[in-house]
Amino acid sequence: MVQISYMHNLNPNQEKAVQCKDNLLIVAGAGTGKTKTIVSKICHYIDQGLVLPNQIMATTFTNKATHEMKKRLESHLGHFASMISIGTFHRISLNIVQTHEKLLGFENIQVLSYDDQLQLIRKIMSHMKFKDSRPSQILELIQRAKEKGTFGDLNPAERDIGEIYQKRLKEMNAMDFADLLVNAIKLWKNNPSVLAQYKEQYKLICVDEYQDINEVQHEWLKLICGKENQLCCVGDPDQAIYSFRGSNIKYILGFGEEFKNSQRIILDQNYRSTDKIIKSANSLIKFNKNRIDKELLPNSVSDRKVDVFVAIHEKEESSEICKIIAQEKEKNPDASVAILFRTSAQMDSMEESLLNANIKYSIVGSIQLLDRAEIKDAVSYIRFLANPNDFMAFSRLIQSPKRGIGKTTIDKIESSPGASVKDKIDNSGLNESTNNKLKEILDQFDSWKSSPLPFSKLAKKIIEESGLFEASEPPRQENLNRWLESVGEFEGAEEYANYVLWSNIKSDDDKDVQLMTVHAAKGLEFDIVFLPGWEEGLFPHIRSRANTEEERRLAYVALTRARSYLAISYAQSRMQHGKYMSTTPSRFLKELDSKNSTFQSFKHKKNGNKVFHDIFGHGIVEETGVHHAQVKFGNVVKIVPLNSLAKR
**CATH 3.40.50.300 in the chain, residue ranges:** 5-98+182-267, 286-367+509-598
CATH of the domain spanning 286-367+509-598: 3.40.50.300
| pLDDT score of 504 | 46
340 within 8 A of 554, measured Cβ to Cβ: no
pLDDT tens digits, residue range 306-317? 999 988 888 889
pLDDT tens digits, residue range 342-392? 998 888 889 888 988 888 888 876 556 777 889 989 999 998 998 887 777
The CA dihedral of 78, 82, 84, 89, to the nearest 10 degrees, is 130
CB proximity list for 318: less than 8 A, separation 6 or greater: 349, 350, 352, 353, 354, 532
Q: What is the DSSP string of 377-428?
A: HHHHHHHHHH-TT-HHHHHHHTTSS--S--HHHHHHHHHS--SSHHHHHHTS
| Three-state secondary structure readout of 545-596 | HHHHHHHHHHHHHHHCCEEEEEEEEEEEEEEECCEEEECCECHHHHCCCHHH
pLDDT tens digits, residue range 212-261? 999 999 999 999 998 888 999 999 999 999 988 888 999 999 999 998 88
- As a whole number of angstroms, the distance between CA 245 and CA 521 comes to 16
Please state, rounded to an integer, the average pLDDT across all residues of the chain.
87
Is CATH 1.10.10 the right assignment for the domain spanning 110-172? yes
At residue 308, the 3 state secondary structure works out as strand
Residue 463, pLDDT > 90, answer: yes
Strands 204-207 and 56-60, by their bridges, are: parallel
State the pLDDT confidence band at 561, using cuts at 50, 70 and 90: very high
**% residues pLDDT > 90 (the chain):** 47
**Radius of gyration, CA atoms only, the chain:** 29
pLDDT tens digits, residue range 264-301? 999 999 999 999 999 999 999 999 999 999 999 999 99
State the pLDDT confidence band at 628, using cuts at 50, 70 and 90: low
CB proximity list for 20: less than 8 A, separation 6 or greater: 232, 263, 265
| pLDDT score of 63 | 78
207 within 8 A of 233, measured Cβ to Cβ: yes
Residue 595, pLDDT > 60, answer: yes
Neighbour tally for 499: CB within 10 Å: 17
211 within 8 A of 236, measured Cβ to Cβ: yes
Amino acid at 226: G
Q: Inter-axis angle of helices 177-190 and 89-99, to 10 degrees? A: 50
Is CATH 3.40.50.300 the right assignment for the domain spanning 5-98+182-267? yes
**What is the pLDDT averaged over residues 79-93?**
91
CATH of the domain spanning 373-495: 1.10.486.10
pTM comes to 0.72
What DSSP state is assigned to residue 130? Answer: -
State the pLDDT confidence band at 507, using cuts at 50, 70 and 90: very low
- The catalytic residue positions are 34-35, 208-209, 239, 561
At residue 450, the 3 state secondary structure works out as coil
264 within 8 A of 27, measured Cβ to Cβ: yes
pLDDT tens digits, residue range 116-151? 788 789 888 988 888 778 888 899 899 888 887 788
| pLDDT score of 4 | 53
The CA dihedral of 430, 432, 436, 442, to the nearest 10 degrees, is 30
**CATH 1.10.486.10 in the chain, residue ranges:** 373-495
Q: Which residues are annotated as a binding site for ATP?
A: 28-35
